[in-house]
Structure 1
Amino acid sequence: MLRPLLLTLSIVASPLTANAGDVLTYEQHIRPILKAHCFQCHGEAGKREGELDLRLRRLIVAGGESGPTIEAGDPDASLLVERVRSGEMPPIDKKLSDNEVETISKWIESGAQTARAEPESIGDDPVFTTEEREFWSFRSVHRPTVPKTSNTARLRTAIDNFILARLEPEGMELSPVTNRRALIRRAYFDLLGLPPTPEATDAFVADESPAAYERLIDRLLASPHYGERWGRHWLDVAGYADSEGYTEDDPPREWAYHYRDYVIDSFNAAKPFDSFIHEQIAGDEMIPPRSGDLTAEQIQNLTATGFLRMAPDGTGVGGVDQDVARNEVVADTITIVSTSLMGLSVGCARCHDHRYDPIPTRDYYRLRAVFAPALNWKAWKLPQQRRVSLYTKANHEQAASINAEAAKIDKQREVKAQQYIERTLAEELATLPEPIREPIRVAYKTAGKERTTEQQQLLKDHPSVANISVGSLYLYDRRRDERARKIDVERKAKETRFIEETQKRAGVAVTAATLAKFNPEAAAELKRDAEAAAKLRAEKAADDLKRYTERAAAIRADIPRHVFLRAVTETDEKTPATFVFHRGDHQQPKEQVGPGGLSVLEQRLASDIAANEESLPSTGRRLALARRFTSRDYPLTARVIANRIWLHHFGRGIVNTPGDFGVLGDRPTHPDLLDWLAVEFIESGWQVKRLHRLIMLSSVYRQSSQRTEQHDSLDPDNKLYARMSLRRLESEQVRDAMLAISGQLNTKMFGDPVPVMEDAVGQIVIGKENLDGERKPVNPIALQGEEFRRSIYVQVRRSRILAELEAFDAPEMTPNCDRRSSSNVAPQSLFFMNSQQTVNVANVLAQRVIDEAGIDVTRQVTRVWRLVFGLRPTAEEVDAASALLQQQRELLGKATDRPRELTPETAALSTLCQALLSSNRFLYID
């Protein structure tokens, strides 16, 4: 049984080692090894340590200061083999593997052959071999001939031909078609990220029309939830986040949600993907200069450039090296662009020529030059400075009109407040002894800076007068005027007694200070009484003034909200120069370069990227790059996007490294199918929904996920698609499905993100922090149902990922995510067993089941099975669930810690709901 082993080897063999039987050549087998490990010192950028250049076979033979490096036919006599076997070279941590050393040895032993005649001379410019230029992902996209197959009964779309053409030589065939309940659940989760309702499932199962499934796909593609599901996929590769990252503080990134909404809307509107790319890379370069209010087109295109604002950005915070932070933003932006649209990680070329792919450092900085006019690190614009206001002239006029109306109320309040102050002053003075009333009144009316020492002391001794202000009218406790008058009467009686005592001494003024000399306790009591009376008299004034304030606030509530976009535009009149940074160090600029792309592709492309496009108000560099990405002769982008769409339907890509189509990435399992899909994509007008239909209408997609012994022995990883792979729900699908099943899902679309916060035990949960005066959390602010919105609208904080999403592998955007992992770990089970979120959902689901199925246990079990799993329970499952419910009712009826709001029957049903939600049948799509 060698076939499974050989099949696996043919798919995953290392690009830097040779298979048995290969004719070893320098270009195909040896140069990639030396480039990865040795060129940095022996050939790259003019470096020739020891006068040794390894870039050509004849230069290797010639050797350097130590003499010839190889002896053709005799590896044991070859200095190169001696040095790499001993580990002396390369002199860095990453040594050659045993397989790589063996490949070099066998190449020398077989005569150290080349694939073709070598050039007579070689300079310091990048040299690309034919093998590099003809690497599979750099070859032009072509429409392959659809292969013929023996089994024609299963052919629905050309996809089936390509898959069967690989299966049949291996003695394999497609699995049977899955059942309809599984198929509709698969389609719903794939296109909408939500489960079908029991009613939708029943209707589909009952529809015997041959076109029933096709109509189902069309309905799902027309749903607004489609954009939410597939927009989330793109937001991953775009690195979408609602926070800046870069520092531990991870400050919020206000207004980022506009880009999220743009993405969702673009998918729902079936926007051609080439336009989608153009707008995100260069939306600002596609619109006329701004003048007056922004048009709908300008808003859309500027919003799209938020794609270039998604990288972590530390330039708006203190305590960081700003030059470093700026250059990191540029580098991360290039990473996001290259992995999402080129399928290459060009970042390796930032410091040195890419070790494996034909991407020299110079190409990296040519690509950087494309973005330099908008992301000029020497004339950087902080995040707040890049905001684009959406306020219109009409908004400003409306705001001015509303403010003018509210100002009238403010003026009325000021007049009223002054009246209350005068009244309060008069009332307060009336409670004081006659001799000091006028001096205190004058002191109060005198401006603070102009008061004499005596006046200051007089007011200090009588705080009930000194503290009269508009603000004080709001600070007092709510009492009644009668109580204030009662205190005044009591106070006057006390004052009379005090005055009588003090007047026994001639020349003694009646003040709190002098009273304290005769009767300290009485003076303190007098002071307290005075303040209490003043507070109580302020009640009516406070209520009255509050009404004015509330009226003004209600009027101002209609002022249009000032909204901004996070956009990218070119702002400098002078185009900045771009230099190659030596070893990536911005403090060591070397050669100046102009804008460009990958040199290895230049011969395939019709045009260069101009340094300055005269027909545009900007340089036009980014627009030229975007158009290059979507040109018919560009080999990468259409393949990359078609592969991503396939990946999200099958759980693995035709190229299973969607962000790396380079040498270290996986080779395509079905290269002709990938090219066919890419051409279909281009020729359909870059319509994503067209690819959905082709894929989902195929027999390959409709297969059962049932494993067989034959399939497991021949293709254990299902790389040839002889069955549908079992897939775990992604994090957002888990949460959204639970909300939908329980009936809690809030389907509101777009707008501000649902906030997250840290709870008392340090977990990140949905909620809005409510901090007291010491910035300690108190009761969270109610979200009015916003907490039940879909997960795509939940705030994405790089350092504060929602706990229930993080448990199911929600990615941390550093800077983006080109493919999610799908783990199976203990915290996921603990989430279902112990989390308050699951308990809450189970309680609500239990009540929903009771409302819809009544008190009959069999009906309850059937309903919850249909809601959670989309199918009806078997008789055995009904019996087992009924027994569990009976047991739980008895236990919970005796329990003292059961929530009071739950009856034993509801609590028992909640336990069953929680158990079903915790099951693999809910968590996986088959």
Structure 2
Amino acid sequence: MNRGATVGLMFLLAGPLWAQKDSAEIEHFEMRVRPLLINQCLKCHGEEKSKGGLRLDSREGLLRGGNSGPAAKSGQPDQSLLLQAVRQVGELKMPPEGKLKGQEVADLTTWIKNGAPFPSGPMKTLKPLPLARAADLLPNSAELAPLLEGWYQASSIKSEEGNAVANWPDSSGKGKNLSAPSNQGPLFVAKSKVNARPAVRFDGNAKLTGFSTVGPPVSPGSIFLVVHLEGNLGKPGGQLLAWMQPSGKESSKFFVDGVLSSPILENPLLWQGGVRGELAEILLFNKALSESERVGIEAYLARKYALVLPGSLRDTAGSFSKAEKEFWSFQPVKDRPLPAVRDASWAKTPIDRFILARLEEKNLKPSPAADRRTLVRRVYFDLTGLPATPDEIEKALQDKSPRWLESVVEGLLQSPHYGERWGRHWLDVVRYAETTANDANAVMRFAHRYRDYVVHSFNQDKPYGQFIVEQLAGDLLPDTTDISLKASRIIATGFLMLGPKALAETDKEQTRLDIVDEQIDVTTRAFLGLTVSCARCHDHKFDPVPTADYYGLAGIFRGTEPLMDENRNATMFQEWPLFQIAGEKPFLVMAPREGLPVNLQVHLRGNRFQLGALAPRRLPQILAGPEAPVLSSQSGRLELAQWIASKGNPLTARVMVNRVWQHHFGTGLVATSDNFGKRGESPSHAELLDWLASRFLESGGSVKALHRLILSSSVYQQATRSNAAGETADPENRLLWRMNRRRLEAEILRDAMLAVSGKLDRTIGGNDSGEFLYREAEIQDPKRGFAPNKVKGDHPFYNASLRRSLYLPVVRNMLPDVITVWDGADPYAVTAVRTETTVPSQALFLLNNPLVREQALQFGKLLLSEGKPDDTDRLRRACLRALGREPVAEETAQGLTFLKAYAAEAERLKTPGDRLAAAWQSFCQMLFCSNEFLYVE
């Protein structure tokens, strides 16, 4: 082989709620249970083999059981033999190879508790995906080592950024190092354009010599180069070039990214001259490698440098049916024309036209408008989560302008408490918590910075697209000298850090992959309304999301570093100082670091030790097409974020508009607000959804503009009054012939009691919760801040705190009663729609909880200390503060009778203490217990 003396001469560069619940349970099965059964159970208890007569590939088999009896009792996990076996507390211990992880047992428990739902039909053993086109072939493998003449890896160079490279060592073992002539050495690049890997930069004049002759291969040989070329031939992330010169009269072959290239490009004359680009690796062989050998080397280099080769795109391309491509939510958003209606007088806004058109189809009429007091209470709770004060109510009642409600709405949108209310809705979706769950349940001391970022973003009316990009890739945006803006962008990426983490897991790579799975789940459900993480172990059962697409996204997130100290038994999540002002402590943030870009191989059935085809980083093919890889020298998070935030994305605006509608009406136009796929509900008003999405896009993604539009409509301002025709034709009120009555959420119920009693601390933001949790924690490593949580749900802090519930500690698996009893969001997973139960424990809470008793006492004391010193006036003020209205005569009479009777009974029983205060405490607690206080009309 005639090998060149100068590497640089080898080439030239020229320049409804029940539906939501059912959907959530199926998603739990698909994401958590099906993969577990397949990996751990079906080899012995499936279609091919059923040891002990037990099959676990269908619900029927599960409930029928085997020789030992039924494996599960629906809804009764503790009575289920399967749970007893996997908990390994009795004689039967499964699986025989070892215990399941704690979370896996918990997932099975939840599944059986939910009734052990299966998709219809038996669960088939999954057909494995094809293996990679070729297994990686190392350059120094037994079959290639004799042919290897030179192996140059920039990663082997010991140098600093920008230093001249005097010597490039040969990794082949042949000792043919490359050295630089005086003053002609190329420069070392620590994080190059070859996907942030080390490289050597050539500018056309730099040289490295080490061979006796000059020129490209003219006798049998092979050259492989991993390079980022400058000019028209280059592409983001780098390229893989391969040159094969066979023996005899056969012509040479030149491959670019595994594809045979033009004969013009393989002409040696074109590749003479100085190199301009960043070179990461060179491989020289003394013969033309075979096709399989070349492909094997290319597979090795592509995986090592996260290169996207056309072959891997082709191998993992999805195939979609016409019906899948034409599914409603995958179609572009269209600005729909307003429908014709018979009686347009009711329609204040275009929204009303869409609603009325559907009502007229069913011969239904909308309900009358609600009265002013009702509307004031409604918009106050909707926009700030706090009750209107008597003065605020009176101001609205006295406003003679026909636009009085617009004035109220505008004032509330400018309130700092607006961001707290709508920030809490978003925190439900992004599974906000301040501990990690799982083993240590370690305190995430600085999670509050993300919470406050969300509140501030809603108060700012930050454009929704910007909100998306900052959370997914704020750290990858262009640098800025504005330290406040920079800090905000970094803090926003806490979105990627909030999920549960198994810090003590010994298999650190498995921990990483589980975090990636959780990041994919929250990203796709929050922004796109798709359950992509269901495709981790197999192609999505319902939606057109192949497993290769899951791993395409997984590669994007795997290139991000959420953890540090992975060589420790207890890994630590990323906490680091963003800046430090002289004389103050460093400003610490919980935020990921950008790592090296990677492309993952498909994990067959979710098992990382059974690898399939290489899945290049790319966007979901059903939406972006098969030829849309992420070509970036970064992780790809920024490209993903920008694609999600783009106006052309058919899902993003629809999903967010639907969320806003849901929180104003109780149910979204799409009831399953985090599932716009096949298992989700179809929209009740598809044209209205698109019309609203179009307005949202027109406004630049202004959520406040969307509020103004919705709250000004007649449909929003309806009364909750029922009628026989509506109940018969549309009992679930999906057509919105009346307004839905809604119960206050857990946090808002607590906040309302504090506000009415006059004790609410309205301070915005801060880290009361994080610092409290950290002080109370078992601080095992102060230097790293590693501190397992010790605070339980019954800690006195929860009742003593007077701050809004948004600022209470959020401890996974240990929430306080005021949150759990009233169906607060589970911070372990995405909560798109909170369930609403009615159970005896709620009444007992209102009767006996110390928080309720104390705030009723403070409410009574407030009434006794203000206004006129007579009970009739106090009753009037009590109803105004608690219910937003004055009592009617009958209520006043009943209240006076109650107070007199209470005082008489206290006198008879010789009850100690202030009997007047006790009487008013009891009356105020009665108001707290009333449906009128608990519900918004």
Report the TM-score range of the alignment, normalised by the length of the smaller protein: 0.5 to 0.7
Distance 1:888 1:379 in 2: 63
| Cα pair 2:448 2:770 within 8 Å, conserved | no
Q: 1:253 aligns with which of 429, 441, 444?
A: 444
| Cα pair 1:184 1:196 within 8 Å, conserved | yes
Q: Which one-letter code corresponds to 2:820 in the other structure?
A: E
The Cα shift of 1:177 comes to: 0.4
Tell me if 1:333 matches 2:519: yes
Q: Which residue of 1 aligns with 2:724?
A: 709
Distance 2:670 2:566 in 1: 38
The Cα shift of 1:179 comes to: 0.5
Tell me if 1:351 matches 2:537: yes
Distance 2:475 2:316 in 1: 38
Q: How does 1:280-679 map to 2 (within 5 A)?
A: 280-288=471-479, 295-315=483-503, 318=504, 320-375=506-561, 384=572, 386-392=574-580, 394-395=581-582, 398=583, 560-572=584-596, 575-603=597-625, 608-613=628-633, 619=634, 621-679=636-694
Distance 1:751 1:377 in 2: 25
Q: Which residue of 1 aligns with 2:929?
A: 918
Q: 1:590 to 1:378 in 2, by over 3 A?
A: farther
Distance 1:252 1:177 in 2: 48
Q: Which residue of 2 aligns with 1:62?
A: none
Q: 2:826 aligns with which of 800, 812, 831?
A: 812
| Cα pair 2:617 2:630 within 8 Å, conserved | yes
| Cα pair 2:761 2:804 within 8 Å, conserved | yes
**Secondary structure, aligned partner of 1:390:** strand
**Secondary structure, aligned partner of 2:576:** strand
Runs of 4+ in 1 over 6 A off after TM superposition: 376-379, 775-778, 780-786
Distance 2:524 2:832 in 1: 11
Q: Which residue of 2 aligns with 1:278?
A: 469
The Cα shift of 1:811 comes to: 1.6
Q: Which one-letter code corresponds to 1:594 in the other structure?
A: P
| Cα pair 1:770 1:781 within 8 Å, conserved | no
Q: 1:377 to 1:266 in 2, by over 3 A?
A: closer
The Cα shift of 1:923 comes to: 0.2
Distance 2:609 2:791 in 1: 45
Q: 1:309 to 1:278 in 2, by over 3 A?
A: same
Distance 2:884 2:117 in 1: 54
Q: How does 1:855-870 map to 2 (within 5 A)?
A: 855-870=869-884
Q: 1:192 aligns with which of 371, 380, 384?
A: 384
The Cα shift of 1:212 comes to: 0.9
Q: 1:884 to 1:755 in 2, by over 3 A?
A: farther
Q: Which one-letter code corresponds to 2:843 in the other structure?
A: S
The Cα shift of 1:639 comes to: 0.5
Q: 1:218 to 1:96 in 2, by over 3 A?
A: closer
Tell me if 1:126 matches 2:318: yes
| Cα pair 1:756 1:795 within 8 Å, conserved | no
- Higher relative CO (Cα under 8 Å, sequence separation at least 6) belongs to 1
Q: 1:274 to 1:179 in 2, by over 3 A?
A: same
| Cα pair 1:809 1:822 within 8 Å, conserved | yes
- Stretch of structure 1 that moved more, 196-205 or 378-387: 378-387
Distance 1:916 1:378 in 2: 52
Q: Which residue of 2 aligns with 1:696?
A: 711
Q: 1:735 to 1:124 in 2, by over 3 A?
A: closer
Q: 1:311 to 1:777 in 2, by over 3 A?
A: closer
**Secondary structure, aligned partner of 1:853:** coil
Distance 1:836 1:906 in 2: 16
Q: Which one-letter code corresponds to 2:628 in the other structure?
A: D
The Cα shift of 1:634 comes to: 1.0
Distance 1:738 1:124 in 2: 56
Name which one, 1 or 2, has greater alpha-carbon Rg: 1
| Cα pair 1:350 1:583 within 8 Å, conserved | yes
Listed one character per residue, the Cα deviations across residues 94-121 of structure 1 (whole Å, up to 9, x for unaligned) are 57469xxxxxxxxxxxxxxxxxxxxxxx
Distance 1:94 1:739 in 2: 44
Q: Which one-letter code corresponds to 1:342 in the other structure?
A: L
Instruction: Name stretches of at least 5 consecutive residues in structure 1 with no aligned partner.
Output: 1-7, 16-35, 41-48, 51-91, 99-121, 399-559, 614-618, 758-765
Tell me if 1:163 matches 2:355: yes
**Secondary structure, aligned partner of 2:348:** coil
Distance 1:714 1:365 in 2: 46
Distance 1:384 1:294 in 2: 29
Q: Which one-letter code corresponds to 2:411 in the other structure?
A: R
The Cα shift of 1:788 comes to: 0.4
| Cα pair 1:374 1:568 within 8 Å, conserved | yes
The Cα shift of 1:895 comes to: 3.5
Instruction: Name stretches of at least 5 consecutive residues in structure 2 with no aligned partner.
Output: 1-15, 24-33, 39-46, 49-115, 123-313, 779-788
Distance 1:311 1:865 in 2: 42
Tell me if 1:210 matches 2:402: yes
| Cα pair 1:227 1:266 within 8 Å, conserved | yes
Q: 1:733 to 1:683 in 2, by over 3 A?
A: same
Q: Which one-letter code corresponds to 2:832 in the other structure?
A: D
| Cα pair 2:536 2:547 within 8 Å, conserved | yes
Distance 2:803 2:738 in 1: 35
Distance 1:808 1:782 in 2: 19
Distance 1:894 1:321 in 2: 69
Tell me if 1:221 matches 2:413: yes
State the identity %. Answer: 35
Q: Which one-letter code corresponds to 1:651 in the other structure?
A: G
Listed one character per residue, the Cα deviations across residues 106-147 of structure 1 (whole Å, up to 9, x for unaligned) are xxxxxxxxxxxxxxxx99853211110010111111111111
Distance 1:819 1:753 in 2: 28
Q: 1:344 to 1:124 in 2, by over 3 A?
A: closer
Q: 1:782 to 1:665 in 2, by over 3 A?
A: closer
Q: 1:768 to 1:747 in 2, by over 3 A?
A: farther
Q: 1:383 to 1:632 in 2, by over 3 A?
A: farther
Distance 2:491 2:791 in 1: 35
The Cα shift of 1:590 comes to: 1.9
Question: Aligned-pair RMSD on alpha carbons?
Answer: 3.4
The Cα shift of 1:803 comes to: 1.2
Q: Which one-letter code corresponds to 1:817 in the other structure?
A: T
| Cα pair 2:435 2:441 within 8 Å, conserved | yes
Q: 1:658 to 1:153 in 2, by over 3 A?
A: same
Q: Give the alignment's TM-score, normalised by structure 2.
A: 0.63
Q: Which residue of 2 aligns with 1:441?
A: none
| Cα pair 1:185 1:196 within 8 Å, conserved | yes
**Secondary structure, aligned partner of 1:153:** helix
Structure ranking higher in strand proportion: 2
Q: 1:739 to 1:709 in 2, by over 3 A?
A: same
Distance 2:638 2:527 in 1: 14
The Cα shift of 1:851 comes to: 1.2
Structure ranking higher in helix proportion: 1
Q: Give the alignment's TM-score, normalised by structure 1.
A: 0.64
**Secondary structure, aligned partner of 1:754:** helix
Q: Which residue of 2 aligns with 1:726?
A: 741
Distance 1:736 1:714 in 2: 37
**Secondary structure, aligned partner of 1:723:** coil
Listed one character per residue, the Cα deviations across residues 531-570 of structure 1 (whole Å, up to 9, x for unaligned) are xxxxxxxxxxxxxxxxxxxxxxxxxxxxx23331111221
